[in-house]
Structure 1
């Protein structure tokens, strides 16, 4: 939970924050904004300008990645129906990273988000864990489906699609 979401450690800065990074969509206090803006020494396994993916520093499974938007987006509770395409793209990136790392059984993966207040970083991030069948005891608790503190990507998409347009 909180320990696994501490995510990557901040490394040396890549220099002063550029004006683009200070624009709307960047929180200079957010570690995931810094990682997505490539201002840390965190190795990115995927970067496309919109999303970044990197290994979790406290993995809950043999392969554990975090997929984050480059622009600051609050936690999953702050999302609206308009965010469904973003969440779907995060899932696509997560699955693609797994496949590039020889995870072919996508039925044995866990893709989801910690539900606030059980997330330690207030920046949207998808946990991508595989194989789920090899998760340890504590990880099975932290990333338990149908729990109060963890929602699968599919559950989040369903929840967002059920929101009215004004939400």
Structure 2
């Protein structure tokens, strides 16, 4: 593989998934990113996009990670399109702020249809969730402040 072993955190679940050490179904992948279903889906469609390189969380992102985040968003949209999500405006895509990120390896949530999420999922991924930052807000914070607050 292109990655040096120093990038793999042995006890990190998502590093294991990225390196095909689990039976998780990989839906999309390229040299940089991997996409797979969320194990506890919060919507009819709920996918995760993770970088192969271990980055802790969205607060670890810097301004020069903007292209990475944009490509993560693109892959999130691609999987929703592939899975025939009819309304690509009715989606939620974003990141959890620590300590509310369950796995400490950067992952973008892509959920659809957002309008049909159950109340519990709304709390975790909805617009009133204090800990869930939509990807467009992450990008604008990186562009203006160079970091995610």
**TM-score using structure 1 length:** 0.83
Contact 1:36 1:71 in 2 (8 A): no
Question: Does residue 71 of the first structure (1) align with residue 53 of the second (2)?
Answer: yes
* Residues 72-95 of structure 1, C-alpha deviations (whole Å, 9 max, x = no match): 111001110011111100000000
CA distance 1:39–1:162, change in 2 (3 Å):
same
Q: 1:22 maps to what in 2?
A: 5
Q: Distance in 1 between matches of 2:3 and 2:93?
A: 31
Q: Which runs of 5+ in 2 are unaligned?
A: none
CA RMSD across the alignment:
1.8
Counterpart selection for 2:99 from 81, 103, 117:
117
3-state SS of 2:11 partner? coil
Q: Which runs of 5+ in 1 are unaligned?
A: 1-17
Q: Distance in 1 between matches of 2:142 and 2:58?
A: 10
Question: Does residue 34 of the first structure (1) align with residue 23 of the second (2)?
Answer: no
Length, aligned pairs only: 147
Larger Rg: 1
What stretches of structure 1 move > 2 A for 4+ residues in a row?
Answer: 18-21, 144-148
**TM-score using structure 2 length:** 0.92
CA distance 1:140–1:22, change in 2 (3 Å):
same
